Structure formats: structure tokens, C-alpha cells
Amino acid sequence: MKKLTVLSIMAASFLLVGCGDSATGAEAKAATEHKTESTMKCGEGKCGNAKKTETTKKCGEGKCGGDKKSAATEAKEAATTAVEKTKEAVAQKASEVKEAATKAVESVKEKASSAVDSAKAAAASAASAATAAVAAATASGPDGKAIFAKCAGCHGADGKTKAMGKAPLLAGQAEADLETKIKAYKAGTRNEHGMGMLMKGQVASLSDADIKAVATYISGLK
């Protein structure tokens, strides 16, 4: 039994050595093949090292991990750049919108203020026109034509009607004579045809200026 064991060990050793040699030879062959052939066929478990080498070579020259890493970095950078560009564009657009809004508000303000200004100017000119009209009316004094309107019923619009069938025609009479006669009726001192009191009632409310104005108007009637 002991002998057999020893023999067995020896046999095993020989086998191992032989296999080892054979494996080494295969490795060397595989390495050589790998050097000459770009594509290498493994599959029998004998070229494990070569396969490993190939894998290592593929990834060891920065073509696997390195590439992946740099691609990821590039994508990240591109994304960052895109985000920054978008941010810039948004900021630019926002500032443009803000500017436009500010301009719109300013133009509305301007229009409103100019509208207020023109309203003020219109009010001022209306006021000055009114003042001028009042001044003109005051300067020109009583309106003789307007006063004569109430006399025309008896004396005629043209002063050529014989009032109550008795009074002489007023048209053609001198301004001074008319003024004197009207003032006399007002004072109650004139009564040529028994109608002096009637005439007094017609002219009682007239001022000296009114009497002068209406006398001037009547003297102008042709």
C-alpha cells in the first residue's frame, strides 16, 4: 500500500509537470498568436491569460473606462453649458420684457401728462376767452339794438311805425333829440299826445347809458 501511494504521488507529479509544461507552451503559443492576430479565438480554457491580456489591453489604453469617463464628463459639460446658455437667454429675455414694460409705462405716463397739460391749456384758454368776452361786453356798454327790441312792438323794427297811431316816426330823428325825449318821458315831463305816462313805463328802467345806446341805435335806422 505504501509503495502504491508513493507511485501514485510520483505519477501525479509527472503528470502535473507534463501538464504544466504543456500549459506553458500553450500560453506562449497563445501570446504569439495574440501578437500576430488582431482577433483571437479562445474557448478551451487554455488561453485564459491571453484572453485576460486582450481584455486588459482593450480597457487598459484608455479606450474603455477612460472613454466612458470623458464621454460622461463631456455630456455633463455640454449639459452645464446648455443650462447656462438657457439661463442667459432667459435672463436676456426677462430684461428685454422688463425694458419694454418700462417703456410702455413711461409712454403712458407721458401721454397722460400731455393730456393733462392740454386739458389745462384748454381750460386756461377758455377762461381767458371768457374774460375777454366779459371785458369786450363791458367795454362796448349796453346793446342799443337789444334794448330797442321791446320798443319795436309799437315803433316798428325799422322805427317807421306811428306808435298807437299818434307818435311821430322815430326813424330819421337825431340821436341827441331822441335821447332828450326819452329822458323826458322817464322823468315824466313829456306828454305830447296824452301817452306820456305810457312811454314813461317803457323807459323807466333804462339807465342813462341804456338811453344813449338805444338813441344811437334808433338814429342809425334808415
Binding site for ligand HEC (CB under 6 A): 150-151, 153-155, 163-164, 166-168, 170, 178, 181-182, 190-196, 198-199, 202-203, 214
Nearer to ligand HEC, 30 or 203 (CB): 203
Kindly provide the b/e burial profile for residues 32-66, where b requires at least 16 CB atoms within 10 angstroms of the residue's own CB. eebeeeeebebeeebbebbbebbeeeeeeeeeeee
Q: How far is the CB of 116 from ligand HEC (least distance, A)?
A: 50
Nearer to ligand HEC, 120 or 193 (CB): 193
Q: How far is the CB of 203 from ligand HEC (least distance, A)?
A: 5
Q: How far is the CB of 162 from ligand HEC (least distance, A)?
A: 9
Please name which of 173, 180, 142 lies closest in space to residue 159, comparing C-alpha atoms.
173
Nearer to ligand HEC, 98 or 150 (CB): 150
Centroid of chain to Cα 2 = 112
Alpha-carbon distances of 191 from 41, 176, 196, rounded to whole Å = 157, 18, 4
For cell 335806422, the residue is 221
Nearer to ligand HEC, 103 or 150 (CB): 150
Q: How far is the CB of 137 from ligand HEC (least distance, A)?
A: 20
